[in-house]
Amino acid sequence: MTMEKLVAFLKSTGYVYQGSEIYGGLANAWDYGPLGVELKNNLKRYWWKRFIQESVYNVGIDSGILMNPEVWVASGHIANFTDPLTDCKSCGVRHRADKLIDEASNGEVNADGWTNEQLYDYIKSHKIACPACGGTEFTPVRQFNMMFKTNQGVIEDAKNTIYLRPETAQGIFVNFKNVQRTSRKKVPFGIGQIGKSFRNEITPGNFIFRTREFEQMELEFFCKPGTDQEWFDYWNQFCLDFLKELGLRSELVRTRKHRPEELSHYSKATTDIEFAFLFGWGELWGIANRTDYDLRVHQEHSKEKLEYLDPETNEKYLPYVIEPSVGVERLLL
């Protein structure tokens, strides 16, 4: 089975339709038909059952897509949520520089974490060709912020700029004290949610694998510093067991630890659970040790105390966070 045949089958049987099809469609936008929506809902219900309802540790939340823009300043998304962008000088098509290198080297060169200069020098010295036209001249690499901007209210100016959330996680972090206080949960405990996120990807593709609008199932698990490795290992195994329960064959699943230069600005350690998709190996699930980064920066920026008071020791601390995050569409694919 090829990806082209799979897409044709899913379209013809009512799983997935091209978004806005009667108007010629919209690039990388998909609608889910009668069968597709049932399958998506089944996956979401099962995730919610295993991660929230059956867990003695975890509770759920449903936070808003639109948030105070200061959330994204504090979290680092305004400054750091970027991808390296380069344009083909011949046809003008824009490419994500690290993915251009990855595809040209058949996956042998991983350029995650490279500087703009390193990316540009590699593309130039290896005469990498544009997939669209074959040209080998590209503009210098620059960083492109992937957050979607919009305006709140009737006046369009900088004061009214807000963003569509690029992840559901921040809605959990800013509600940490609310949930802990009202649910009376003691650390360790987790807060999970399922919801839409939006990323203005430079090069979306591979059908529903990477889209600009997608749905996430995320858990933020709060634990005492010093126990984070134990819980990191626990949730890695829990996610692997979940995939086995869904029926994924073990030979189609593998794990990959991120190298230090690949780690996100908030991460101490990250493991990707990868799946052998029809187009090759790709990230299915990410499990990250976010340390106390998010609670710390939100405490500093908001001036609100987010520390946890241990009722047994009277010790105050900012919990560490283990985050298993998976996209609904990738599980569907």
Best CA proximity match to 330, nearest among 246, 230, 261: 246
Regarding whether 315 and 216 lie in a shared domain, the answer is: yes
Q: Considering its fold, how many domains does the chain have in total?
A: 2
* CATH (domain of 13): 3.30.930.10
Model pLDDT, residue 300: 98
Q: Are residues 225 and 305 in the same domain?
A: yes
Q: What pLDDT does 112 receive?
A: 81
**120 and 43, same structural domain?**
no
**Judgement on whether residues 69 and 119 belong to the same structural domain of the protein:** no
Provide the pLDDT for residue 95: 93
Domain final position from 145, 165, 184: 145
Predicted confidence at residue 62, as pLDDT, reads 99
Domain shared by 45 and 96, yes or no: no
Question: Which residue segment(s) compose the domain that 131 sits in?
Answer: 83-145
**Counting Cβ atoms within 10 Å, is residue 103 exposed (0-12), middle (13-18) or buried (19+)?**
middle
Assess whether 261 and 290 both reside in one domain: yes
pLDDT per residue, tens digit, the chain (333 aa), is: 788 899 899 999 999 999 999 999 998 899 999 999 999 999 999 999 999 999 999 999 999 999 999 999 999 999 888 999 999 999 999 999 998 999 999 888 988 889 999 999 999 999 999 999 999 999 999 999 999 999 998 877 777 899 999 999 999 999 999 999 999 999 999 999 999 999 998 877 799 999 999 999 999 999 999 999 999 999 999 999 999 999 999 999 999 999 888 888 889 999 999 999 999 999 999 999 999 999 999 999 999 999 999 999 999 999 999 999 999 999 998
Choosing from 100, 116, 145, the residue where a domain stops is 145
Residue 115: the pLDDT is: 93
CA torsion angle 195 198 204 207 (round to 10): 30
Domain stops at, among 145, 167, 189: 145
Residue 155's pLDDT is 79
